[in-house]
């Protein structure tokens, strides 16, 4: 598996502001993913972040709202911009780990509340 940390673990933010979430992995990984889990719901993929290339966003998610950085093979950030109460959610990063197969392992998540 992989040891993944996220910062912050939770935050309460005001409408219209932005929050940057950090994801740190204990070893180098090629692919990192950002998910959103709204209250009582399952996980929805926001984007895939590969080091050295632009993130690939899923339908319904745009770079202006969720800019992502991937400066190296152990770190990524997701920014939630111009927040509204509808952005209140848990944000999770995950990584593919292992030599060959594509199992994904999740970080502990960031619980965001927007007032």
61 lines the binding site for other proteins (CB under 8 A):
no
Report the half-sphere exposure of 10 (CA within 13 A, side-chain side): 3
Task: By CB under 8 A, name the one of 19, 34, 109, 112 that touches other proteins.
Answer: 109
In terms of CB distance, is 34 or 77 closer to other proteins? 34
22 lines the binding site for other proteins (CB under 8 A):
no
Buried b or exposed e, range 8-41, using 16+ CB within 10 angstroms: eeeeebeeeeebebbbebeeebeebbbbbbeeee
Among positions 28-57, residues that touch other proteins (CB under 8 A) are 30-31, 33, 41-45, 48, 50
- The site for other proteins (CB under 8 A) is made up of 1, 30-31, 33, 41-45, 48, 50, 58, 92, 96, 98, 100-109
């Amino acid at each position: 598996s992989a040891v993944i940390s996220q910062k912050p673990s939770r935050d309460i933010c005001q409408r219209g502001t932005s929050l940057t979430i950090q994801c740190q992995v204990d070893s180098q990984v090629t692919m990192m993913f950002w998910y959103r889990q709204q209250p009582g719901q399952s996980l929805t993929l926001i984007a895939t972040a590969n080091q050295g290339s632009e993130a690939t966003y899923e339908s319904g998610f745009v770079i202006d709202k969720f800019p992502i950085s991937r400066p190296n093979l152990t770190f990524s950030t997701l920014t939630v911009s111009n927040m509204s109460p509808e952005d209140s959610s848990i944000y999770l990063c995950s990584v593919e780990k292992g030599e060959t197969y594509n199992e994904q392992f999740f970080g502990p998540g960031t619980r965001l509340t927007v007032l």
